Amino acid sequence: MTNTPYYDTFVAQTPEQVLQSVHKNEKPVLIGVSLSNGNYLEGIVLDIKEANNQKSVCLLSSDEQVSFFNLHSLVSITVKQPKKMAVALSKGTISRPLDPENENLTVLQLKRWLQTEKPQLGNQIKELNIDQLPLNELNNRLNIKDVFKALKEVVSQITIDEIGQKAWQAIDTIVLQQADALSINVQATTLTISLAIDRALPKELSKILEEKLLQQL
């Protein structure tokens, strides 16, 4: 998918679905909306509220005018900054926002970074294996970095007491591998984390990893 235009991954959605995604987006996104009365508005979504079986939208324009309209009057929506919400518009096919601030992390840089950071998971960890993951895409490499950070949070939570420390000390090898669904498996001294590294990572990844790991240790 290296040479595929990012917008080729976008999927059809209803105007309401897109508007809800815009509202939930981490960064404000400029949109244009056409209403059933013929009005056209542009701005960023400040709020969406539901009351008495009606959903109302609050929109802030670039000149700081605030508009309010009922969601049922929404006819169409235009996303003016699609790269900012590429994850939602592609339904997760694009795994992170297409932000120019994202670092250009090479495979070699990633492996060096992991080697440097590995001791934070414990001095007993001999190997952190990512060879079974597709490393050709930048998004995948950035996702691997995020998985490591989430795992580091999990380890810090598990090892807060002596019992947890003893359980984690039994692990000396960590393997990340590609899979459709997230799962964790512990065999002897090896922890295997399977996940779709080429998709958007779960928002509460560290919490999910911790719950699954506690079932295995």
Contact 111, 129 (CB under 8 A): no
42 has which bridge partners? 32
Q: Say if residue 137's pLDDT is above 90.
A: no
User: What is 6-89's CATH number, 3.40.228.10, 3.20.140.10, 1.20.1260.10, 2.30.30.100?
Assistant: 2.30.30.100
Q: Give the pLDDT of residue 3.
A: 47
Report CA-CA distances (Å) from 212 to 145, 149, 154, 191: 20, 16, 10, 11
Q: Say if residue 72's pLDDT is above 90.
A: yes
Phi, psi of 79 (to 5 degrees): -90, 115
Residues of the chain with CATH 2.30.30.100: 6-89
Q: Give the pLDDT of residue 6.
A: 76
Angstrom distance (rounded) from CA 110 to CA 135: 10
Burial of 71 from C-beta contacts in 10 A (0-12 / 13-18 / 19+): middle
User: If you average pLDDT over residues 177-183, what whole number do you get?
Assistant: 94
Residue 217 pLDDT class (50, 70, 90 cuts): confident
Contact 48, 55 (CB under 8 A): yes
Contact 190, 171 (CB under 8 A): yes
Residue 100 pLDDT class (50, 70, 90 cuts): low
Could you tell me what percent of the chain has a pLDDT over 70? Answer: 94
User: 2-32 pLDDT, tens per residue?
Assistant: 445 778 889 999 999 999 999 998 889 999 9
Q: Quick check: helix, strand or coil at residue 195?
A: strand
User: If you average pLDDT over residues 56-73, what whole number do you get?
Assistant: 93
Q: Give the pLDDT of residue 138.
A: 85
User: If you average pLDDT over residues 133-154, what whole number do you get?
Assistant: 91
User: If you average pLDDT over residues 153-179, what whole number do you get?
Assistant: 94
Between these two residues, 98 and 120, which has the higher pLDDT value? Answer: 120
Q: Quick check: helix, strand or coil at residue 200?
A: coil
Contact 89, 12 (CB under 8 A): no
Could you tell me what percent of the chain has a pLDDT over 90? Answer: 70
Q: Say if residue 131's pLDDT is above 50.
A: yes
Tallying the residues shown for the chain, one arrives at 217
